[in-house]
Amino acid sequence: MADVEICDVRKSFGATEVLHGVDISIPDESFTVLVGPSGCGKSTLLRMIAGLEKVTSGEIVIRGQVVNEVPPKQRDIAMVFQNYALYPHMKVFDNMAFSLKLAKVDAKQIEEAVHRAAGILNLEDYLERFPRQLSGGQRQRVAMGRAIVRDPQVFLFDEPLSNLDAKLRVQMRTEIRELHQRLRTTTIYVTHDQIEAMTMADQIVVMHDGIVEQIGAPLDLYDNPANVFVAGFIGSPAMNFLPGSVERGGRAQVTMSNGTTLPLAEEAAAGEGQPVVYGVRPEHLDLVSESDGFAAEVVVVEPMGSETQVLARLDGREIIAAFRERHEFHPGQRIHLRPNLAKVHLFHQDSGQRL
């Protein structure tokens, strides 16, 4: 097991730079998730850690050793691919044993290692099958088994759950998390799904357009997003953003261009007249009486059972509110909403940074 340091790493394909200097510190035994929309460079970074892509500049350090020029097989890492990359002509046993066979490990030890991994992953009954004869979830497990067998210093996962159906994805999410708690191997996991990131990570790295937007624990990112991008990316349904300018005559508030006023805590770090983006999460909007809050017109109601989401229109802007209580809404109805002052986020309108 090992810690991984990524120091000012850049990557260019020809003249196009896709990673613009990335610094990440991944502690030993941690589960770190790289998350971001497609094209943000997260998979490229993972492949660079694996040694499948060259580092253009900067350093990747695994357990204190710079590995930029170390070939993949000597980095002592294992990777689980999005399409599993199982060898179709080898049985499950041989798929899992392949790396050990190449390393000329004694046949008895291979047998033991494979059976141990198969036991952990409930694959004992499938060792004599070909990958074709397995379901998606089983193949996923074989891919993980192949990684476990080697007992590597670092596990790399490249969007491993995106080929599975929704239900299986939730199940495998838990299994991977449980596996990590059991083996404590440093894990770097790439996904575009923020729910996977939130539920699995010790540490989330949010990436966007080749840079790191924010690094932190899941709930830290949720409660204190560093900028509009992170605020909008983490959390589902996404945070509502309402642009306006701060007014501090009497009660502090943010006035939108259409005249709607949004209440603001007095201690909010924004000066009079400053243009801001007012951010509030759907679950931090309360339903209030007509004399209070601001008015919005219900467009769509989505009852989820545990909560009800309401898409409402606020003078041309759409806003989503989520309520744990059950309310009877109907499209066209006017409702009044009030943000929970303590949970309001203010962002700089130009830079998008948190104020």
Binding site for another protein (CB under 8 A): 50-52, 72-73, 77-79, 81-83, 85-90, 98-99, 102-103, 129-133, 146, 150
Rounded to a whole number of angstroms, the minimum distance from the CB of residue 103 to another protein is: 6
Residue found by looking up tokens 């089983």 in the block: 138
Rounded to a whole number of angstroms, the minimum distance from the CB of residue 74 to another protein is: 8
> Toward another protein, which CB reaches closer, 100 or 344?
100
> Toward another protein, which CB reaches closer, 103 or 269?
103
> Toward another protein, which CB reaches closer, 128 or 318?
128
Q: At what angle do helices 136-149 and 92-102 cross, to 10 degrees?
A: 20
Rounded to a whole number of angstroms, the minimum distance from the CB of residue 210 to another protein is: 22
Residue found by looking up tokens 């041309």 in the block: 316
Rounded to a whole number of angstroms, the minimum distance from the CB of residue 4 to another protein is: 16
Taking Cα atoms as reference points, which of 351, 209, 200, 330 lies closest to residue 274? 351
Strands 275-280 and 317-323: unpaired
Rounded to a whole number of angstroms, the minimum distance from the CB of residue 95 to another protein is: 9
> Toward another protein, which CB reaches closer, 126 or 329?
126
Q: What is the CB neighbour count within 10 angstroms for residue 328?
A: 7
Integer Cα distance of 48 and 10 in angstroms: 10
> Toward another protein, which CB reaches closer, 42 or 150?
150
Rounded to a whole number of angstroms, the minimum distance from the CB of residue 304 to another protein is: 37
Q: What is the DSSP string of 287-330?
A: EE-TTSSEEEEEEEEEE-SS-EEEEEEETTEEEEEEESS-----
User: Taking the mean position of all CA atoms in its chain, how far away is CA 110?
Assistant: 35
> Toward another protein, which CB reaches closer, 83 or 109?
83
**Burial of 56 by CB count in 10 Å (0-12 exposed, 13-18 middle, 19+ buried)?**
middle
